[in-house]
Amino acid sequence: MSTTSGTLSKQCSCRGPDGRKLGTRCPKLRRAGGTWSPTHGRWSYQRELPADPDRPGRRQLRNRTFAERQDAADELQRVNALLALAAGDPGLGAQIATLLLAVPRDQPMPDRDVVARRIRAGVAPAVEISTGQYLTDWLATRKLKTLTLRSYAGHIRNHLIPHLGHIPVDKLRVEHLQAMVAAIEDRTTGIEIARQSDDPEVRASVKGVPTTGPATLHRIRATLRKALNDAIRVHRLIEFNPAAHLELPPGRRPKARVWTAPAVAAWLATGARPSPVMVWTPAQAGRFLDFAEEHDPDLVALYTLTLHRGPRRGEVVGLPESQLDLDARLMMISTAILVDGYTTITDAVKSQAGDRPVPLDQVSVGALRRYFARRAEWKLAAGPDWPDTGLVFVRPDGRPWHPELVSERFEKLVARAGLPPIRFHDLRHCAATYMKAAGSDLKDIQEVLGHSGIAITGDTYTSVIFELETEMAKADAAAALIPRARAANGPTGTAPAGGRSIGRIGGPPDTGPTGSGTPGGPGVAEGGVAEGGVAEGGADEEGVSPQARAS
C-alpha cells in the first residue's frame, strides 16, 4: 500500500513450506471477507531517504512494530514532516536522514519543531546542543560591562556548567534546576558545618572556601533565565524556559541596624555584629570625622562627602573634577572606578538612575574647599611631576586612589578610633539614614543615592530609621545630625570644657556673620551653647561648638 512519500504494509513472521518467511503473502493476514485480521501480523512503513554523499547507495527507513495501521501512518507522516524541513537542500536532507536512521525503533521520532529550531539556529539537525555548550557560546556573544560579564562567567563556570552542562538545552527541565539548587545548598551546609568543627584540620580544609547563599542563588537563576530567554527569542532553540519557573528561598536584603549602646556592648563582649549592614549613630559619625581630620587628613574630605551625601565607593573615588561645582553646591555622578580582581576599570555608572545630580550640603562644601587647598600644596611641591588625572580625590603624589586601598584605610582608621566596625559602603547607609531622619522622604533619598527603584530604598532603610529615632529626635537637616568637635566653617559656638555636647540636635539656623548655617541647620544643644554661640567652659581653637560644626 503506497503513499506519495512512503509505503505502508502489513506482514507477519509466518513461514511457507519452503521455510521462507511469507511476509505480506501470509493468508492469515486477512479474514474471510477480505478485511485485515486484527490479531495477526504487524503494520510497517518504508521510506526512501536522501543519499549520504559520503556513502553511495540507497538508504531506506523501515519500522515493522505497529499493531495498528494508523500508528504506522502517523509515524510515517512525522518522518515526512522532518524530511520536508530540508526544503530541497540535498545536504540538509542527508543530515536529517542520518538523524532518522539513528533513532532506535522503540523510541519516538525527534520533535519536528525542535529540529526546525536547530536548523534555524544554524546547528546540524543531528546534533543536540548541550546546556554547557550553549551557555559558553551565548556568553561569548554578549556585549556587557566588564564586571557584569565577569559575574555571568562565574555563575556559568562555577555552578551552571558543573550541574547542568551535560543536559541538552532543549531537554532542560525545572527538575534539573531544582537538583542543582539542592546540591549547591548541600555544599554550603557542609562548609558551614566544617567551619564549626572541633577538628582544626577540618576547619582548615574549608578556610577561604566561599559559600553560596540565597542572594547568590537568585543571581545564578537570573543569569540562566536571561540565557534561556535568548535561546527562545533570538536563537529559537527552545520554547520553554525552566529558569522562569524555578522557585527559590527569598534572597532578602540584609536590614541595616544602628550601633546603639546595647549593640555596642554586645559586640564588645562577643565580637558579633547584629547585621552585615551597620549604621553609626550621629554621635559616632561625628567622632569618626573628628578622628579622621587629625589622623587621616588626606581622605577626611572623601569620608565627609560619603557620610553626608552617600555616593558609592567607586563613584566618589572616580569623581571627575569637571563634575563638581562647589559654588553651585552640586555634584554630578556619571562615572565610577570599579575593581575587577585588583584591576581598576573606569566605567559609566551601572544604571540610568545612577547617572544623577547630587546637591551638596555646606559641611561637605567646606571640607572639599579645605581639601582643594591641601591638594594645591601637594601639586606645588610636585612641580612638573604632578600627574593630571582630572579626578577630585588623589593621593599626595597626584595618583588616583585605588578603591580597595580607600576601604583598607577606612577600616583601619575605624579600629584606631575605637568605634564599632562598619564597612566603607555602610557610610552610604549612614547618609541615607540621616537624610530620612532629618525629614527627607524616600523618593528624595532614592534620587540622591541613585537607587533604581524606591522599593530598594524602603526595604533597606525603613527599619533602621525606627531604631535611630529611638536614639534621638529628628533634625531639620541631614548635616546637622553629625556633631563635631571643631566647626567645618562658621564663626560661633564652642564645645564645653572636657568634651563634646551632643544633647538635642536641631533648631534654628546658624546666623553667624559668615552665613555658614543652612535653613533648618544646627542650633542650640541642650546645656551646651549660650546666646551668641559661646559655650560655658571656653572655646576650642576656632571658637566653635560641635553643633555649629555640622552646619
Q: Which domains does the chain have, with CATH numbers?
A: 7-121 (no CATH), 131-244 (1.10.150.130), 257-472 (1.10.443.10)
4-18, 117-131, 536-550, range with greatest mean pLDDT:
4-18
Residues contacting 55, CB < 8 A, separation 6+: none
CB 80 within 8 A of CB 70: no
Asked if pLDDT for residue 70 goes beyond 50, the answer is: yes
Instruction: Give mean pLDDT, residues 36-47.
Output: 92
Q: What is the pTM of this model?
A: 0.59
Which long-range contacts link 86-93 to residues 24+ away (Cβ below 8 Å)? 86/50, 90/50, 90/53, 91/53, 92/119, 92/125, 93/50
What is residue 478's predicted lDDT score, i.e. its pLDDT?
53
| Interval 156-161 mean pLDDT | 96
In this structure, are residues 472 and 494 in contact, taking their beta carbons and an 8 Å threshold?
no
Please determine, for residue 67, whether its predicted confidence score (pLDDT) is greater than 60.
Answer: yes
Residues 6+ apart with CB under 8 A from 502: 282, 283, 286, 483, 525, 546
Q: Examine the pLDDT at 272 and tell me if it is beyond 90.
A: no
State the pLDDT at residue 378.
96
Give CA separation, 173 vs 141, 152, 187, 220, 505, in Å: 24, 21, 22, 16, 59
Angle CA(170)–CA(174)–CA(177) in degrees, nearest 5? 95
Give me the pLDDT at residue 364, please: 96
Any bridge partners for residue 535, and if so which? 529
356-359 sheet: strands from edge to edge? 324-325, 330-333, 356-359
**Cα gap 123→118, rounded to integer Å:** 5
Query: What pLDDT sits at residue 500?
Result: 32
| Phi-psi category of residue 122: left, alpha or beta, with phi > 0 → left and psi -120 to 50 → alpha | left
Tell me which range, 184-188, 441-445, 493-497, 504-508, is most confidently predicted by mean pLDDT: 184-188
Q: How far apart are CA 214 and CA 248, in angstroms?
A: 8
pLDDT over 60 at 263, yes or no: yes
Print the SS3 string covering 377-417.
Answer: HHHHHHHHHCCCCCECCECCCCCECCHHHHHHHHHHHHHHH
Q: What is the mean pLDDT of residues 8-27?
A: 90
Residue 423 CB partners (closer than 8 Å, separation 6+):
278, 407, 411
Query: Which residues, listed in sequence order, are joined to residue 258 by a DSSP beta bridge?
Result: 279
Classified as helix, coil or strand, 350 is coil
Nearest by Cα to 82 from 73, 72, 95:
95
Average pLDDT over residues 343-355: 81
Is the pLDDT reported for residue 471 higher than 70?
no
Asked whether 143 and 102 are in contact (CB, 8 A), the reply is no
Q: How confident is the model over 288-294, as a mean pLDDT?
A: 96
| Confidence check: pLDDT of 525 > 50 | no
Task: Tell me what the pLDDT averaged over the chain comes to.
Answer: 81
Helices (runs of H) and strands (runs of E) counted in the chain: 19, 12
- Tens of pLDDT along 363-401? 999 999 999 999 999 999 999 999 999 999 999 999 999
The three cell numbers of residue 511 are 546666623
Answer whether residue 4 shows pLDDT above 70: no
Q: Which backbone phi and psi does 508 adopt, to 5 degrees?
A: -70, 155
What does the pLDDT read at residue 450? 87
Quick check: helix, strand or coil at residue 437?
A: helix
Strand ranges inside 156-284, DSSP E = 257-258, 278-279
Cβ 499 vs Cβ 514: under 8 Å: no
Least confident of 236-240, 283-287, 490-494: 490-494
Instruction: Give the span between the Cα atoms of 431 and 445, in whole angstroms.
Output: 9
Q: Which of 1-10, 37-46, 374-383 has the highest mean pLDDT?
A: 374-383
- Closest to 139 measured CA to CA, from 151, 129, 153, 128: 153
| pLDDT 10s digits, 94-153 | 889 988 888 888 888 888 888 887 787 777 776 678 999 999 999 998 888 877 888 999
Which of 231-240, 259-268, 445-454, 457-466 shows the lowest mean pLDDT across its residues? 457-466
What's the gap between Cα 111 and its chain centre? 37
**Long-range contacts for 123-126 (Cβ within 8 Å, ≥24 apart)?**
123/237, 124/95, 125/85, 125/92, 125/95, 125/96, 125/99, 126/95, 126/96, 126/98, 126/99, 126/102
Give the model's pLDDT for residue 464: 66
Cβ atoms of residues 406 and 394 within 8 Å:
no
pLDDT for position 113? 83
Q: What is the pLDDT of residue 457?
A: 67
Closest CA to 307 of 405, 451, 429, 217: 429
Element (H, E) at 309: helix 300-309
Give the separation between CA 17 and CA 26, rounded to whole angstroms. Answer: 12
- d(Cα 178, Cα 532) in Å, to the nearest integer? 70
pLDDT mean over 83-100: 88
Segment (H or E) for 46: strand 42-49
If one compares 331 and 120, the residue with the highest pLDDT of the two is 331
Question: Using CA atoms, how far apart are residues 525 and 546, in angstroms rounded to an integer?
Answer: 9
For residue 267, give every residue at least 6 positions away whose Cβ sits within 8 Å of its Cβ, in sequence order, or none: 259, 273, 274, 420
pLDDT of residue 493: 37
Residue 206: per-residue pLDDT: 87
